[in-house]
């Protein structure tokens, strides 16, 4: 992994660790020095992030699978939630 990419990942993980907001997905665990071993016994270094489970999926999935626009009250609720989450991130 090149240094620039490693620095970006490190910054992202640091930000995720500090976030605590109902509208954001929590980072539960991370490991930058894990090893993946495939079925043939070969290994390679990997990094993994364990994120909070979102049982209802992502917003884009709801839009994609329903194919319907949201009613105005729901759209307002979602937009407000998005703005609050964005505020927490910044």
pLDDT digit string, tens, across residues 15-73? 888 888 888 889 999 998 899 999 999 999 998 999 999 887 888 887 888 878 888 99
pLDDT for the residue 73: 94
pLDDT for the residue 1 = 63
Looking at mean pLDDT, say which of 68-72, 73-77, 85-89 comes out highest.
Answer: 73-77
* Interatomic CA distance for residues 5 and 24, integer angstroms: 23
Classified as helix, coil or strand, 20 is coil
pTM of the model: 0.68
CA distances from 79 to 2, 24, 62, 63 (A): 37, 14, 15, 14
């Amino acid at each position: 992994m090149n240094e620039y990419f490693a620095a970006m990942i490190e910054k992202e993980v640091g930000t995720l660790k500090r976030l605590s907001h109902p509208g954001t997905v929590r980072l539960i665990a991370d490991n930058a020095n894990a090893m993946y071993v495939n079925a043939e016994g070969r290994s390679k270094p990997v990094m993994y992030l364990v994120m909070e489970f979102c049982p209802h999926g992502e917003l884009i999935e709801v839009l994609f699978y329903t194919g319907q626009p949201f009613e105005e009250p729901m759209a307002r609720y979602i937009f407000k939630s998005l703005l609050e989450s964005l505020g927490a991130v910044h």
